[in-house]
Chain A
Amino acid sequence: MNRFIAFVKKEFLHILRDKQTLLIMFGLPVVQVVLFGFAITTEIKDASISILDLSRDHVTRKISNKILSTGYFKLDTYLDHEGEIEQAFKEGKVKEVIVFGRNFATEFESGNARVQLIVDATDPNTGTTLINYTSAIILDFIRGEYPEAGMFRPVALETRMWYNPELKSVYYFIPGVITIILMIVSTMLTSISLTREKELGTMEVLLASPMKPAQVIIAKVVPYMILSFINAVIILIMGKTIFGLPLEGSLALLLGETLLFILVALSLGVLISTHAATQQVALMISLFALMLPTILLSGFIFPVENMPLILQLIANVIPAKWFVIILKDIMLKGSDITDIWKETLVLVLFCLVFIAASVKNYKVRLE
């Protein structure tokens, strides 16, 4: 046991003395969260819109004027019929089309008026923001007209997200960032630190010592596990405090699942190191063979459901995909283990497979 503790201590010393790695480990998450968070919640200003007013009465005019006077929107054109909507979006001139139903003023009195908001959601975040702004302005108008109405809404707001029906909101990025960071720290750094021992020639000495190979690996992995966990917690706290990220489900479950994913990532790192002879190769494998698919196929940036079938199938073998689902479900939907046991099981399987493959590949001798 002393042997083990001494080794873990040594590993911590390596990490703490390597300022660059430390910076990557703790600076990167902060930068990424801030970048993703703020880049996505930019304010709307002078967004081009078109209006299709099918009633052209005093109420619709009032609403249109109110919307256009806020400074958030800029009128591109008034459309004449529904057929033009598609064209307006395709030309890329407008981000949103507001459609007022027929006989708006009359229906407004009877509480059956209809407004349809159609946005170009190719950029999902701008899309949501536009919807939110427009709805707020219309609701504000209604409150102004009928101060006594309370919750009564004489207008049916109907929204359509085009090109990206299941809109991903800003919160959805935080789970993605956590996943990426855990992959970087756990997989890349472990595989590099293990291959570094090979390059230094110290692995030869470790192998020739009575320390069991499994002990060497676990001892090397423990510090990264702890650091990755701290990292995940930092990102969660940042998400909560800076971006008001909700946590609907249980915190314990969230942390437990995080730990499970860290284990998956670490065992993958170990697996890579059994194949890579140099730090450079380890870095290349982690970066290109893992990071890119993780970013692209995990559903972090691009929704998996919208991908071609073949990519959807490939996405299934990306551990990050399952972790992103788990995180979103716990944080946003408040799911408990009975809802996400399947995804959890998949991660457990990944972990076992990686460990089994590493053990099989790990040699008690040199090749």
Chain B
Amino acid sequence: MSEAVIQVENLTKKFGDFYAVKNIDFEVERGEVFGFLGANGAGKTTVMKMLCGLITPTSGKAMVAGFNVFGQQNEIKKNIGYMSQRFSLYEDLTVIENITFYGGIYGLTNAEIKERAYRLIEMHGLGEVKNQLLASLPLGWKQKLAFSVALIHRPQIVFLDEPTGGVDPITRRQFWESIYEAAHSGITLFVTTHYMDEAEYCDRISMMVDGEIKGLGTPTELKQLHHAKNMDEVFVNLARKKEFIE
């Protein structure tokens, strides 16, 4: 079971004199739901971007899905999926057009796209709306679809950047159920969120403060360590308040 798909050692990213990320270490195992928390500007986005192969770290080591973030960014991109609350799908394309587009981006053949699009639509009961513009769908559906699209090329790891912002509580929970489903099929999920209760749904979490990882472990471990009732208290304990430039 314990096979690390993300290995990070001493990873650092500097912007000028400013350490956005400072000597962080962690590992994420296959099939794990890994919560990546931190205050605004703590460096979460920078780490995500490094792991997705979008920016090159200043120093340190990081392997993602078996590939090095130094030099093998293209291989990394082929083996990961990405979904964020802000951007994911095109509002002015239909459901099916969106799926086809992303399938094409990841180099799937037409037959594969067709087959996977069909299954996706079946799975989420989108049959009736598949030819509707995305803009006309409720937010919850869009998010579900965005998530499945992020999975369309069967990536080893999916990065979810605040995937549930603004959704109603029921849809939010349904979304987490699909996250678990994906985890059971062996996909690793790397999730950021501002909902502290969602942190508890993760197998393990890391808490970033000022560019460093100040807490790492299962929610239960962290709560015990900080004598906290819930993750909210852990967060407040760890992230001592400090203002800095984002």
Asked if chains A and B are in direct contact (CB within 8 A), the reply is no
